[in-house]
Amino acid sequence: MDSRPIGMFDSGVGGMTVFKELVLELPNEDVIYIGDTASFPYGSKSKETIINLTKTRIEELIKENVKMIVIACGTATSQALEEVQKMFDIPIIGIIKPTVEYLKQKNIKNIGIAATTGTIRSGGWQKEIEKSIDNCHIQNKACPLLASMAEEGWTNNEIARLTIHEYMKDFENIDALVLGCTHYPLFEDLIKKELLSNTEVINTGKIVSKAVKDYLIAHNIENKGSRKAEYKIYLTDTECNFINVAKHLLPDTNMIEKIQKI
Ligand code: DGL
């Protein structure tokens, strides 16, 4: 038993799609989330910058005495996870490995990846999938506008519909589309409308939350306490639309009452 919180971070509100699933899957766990809104977007930055930003967010979370860290960001997972796992002792989980494990278990071979420019450039998803799944066919698509539109709250208007149409039209014969950026589940309904009905749209948050639960149980570090879980949200810059977008995502808006600047 370990009653310390779980730490999470993303460049902005995208990681809240993971937060939402995590608090549903693990209702006893306290969570501390950092939205690095001062550095948004991560998707267009160099690998070196992403490693530095990831390192800084992890140091901040460690100061908050978290027991493990979830990188709720595809861009930081694909470019910095390996490096920070070497630098820090604390368990750090990203969004790629658990999702690839899921694809493997379900024997999904024709896979689309939609992600930020940096993630696609890194080949992070492609390498991990090819390592685990034989004879797979992968189609990659960078969708650089989506994360900014999500931060703006433009997830269900005409511009979002046209943008999603433009990005989705190149995917052909895929059995599953991985939303390889944590902002993209905010567009899930529009994305589903653009794909064939038998294409599974994969929200990594659901899978990652189950992986976190398995990890906590396997290492006997769940919070078995009976008091109500506490959530703390920090932003590196508060001049943004984070609260409005996050409110639409969460079942209980009290969860984001305590937003503070870190
Ligand atoms: N939500 C992030 C990701 O999963 C970052 C998007 C961005 O900041 O460009 O990639």
pLDDT in tens, 180-234: 999 999 999 999 999 999 999 999 999 999 999 999 999 999 998 888 899 999 9
- As assigned by CATH, the class of the 6-94+206-261 domain is alpha beta
Q: Where are the domains of the chain?
A: 6-94+206-261, 96-204
Instruction: List, chain by chain if needed, residues with CB within 6 Å of any ligand 1 atom.
Output: 10-11, 14, 40-43, 73-75, 116, 119, 147, 181-183
Pick the CATH number of 96-204 from 3.40.50.1860, 3.40.630.30, 3.40.120.10, 3.40.50.300: 3.40.50.1860
Q: Which ligand 1 atom is at minimum distance from the Cα of 182?
A: 4
List phi, psi (to 5°) of 178.
-85, 125
| Number of other residues whose CB lies within 10 A of the CB of residue 70 | 30
Express as a percent the part of the chain with pLDDT over 70.
100
Whether pTM exceeds 0.85: yes
| Cα pseudo-dihedral 120, 23, 233, 188, rounded to 10 | 40
**Are domains 6-94+206-261 and 96-204 of this chain identical in fold?**
yes
163: amino acid identity, one letter: T
- Reported as a single tens digit per residue, the pLDDT across 116-125 is 999 999 999 9
**What is the structure's pLDDT at 67?**
98
Among residues 197, 109, 188, 112, the alpha carbon closest in space to that of 150 is found at 188
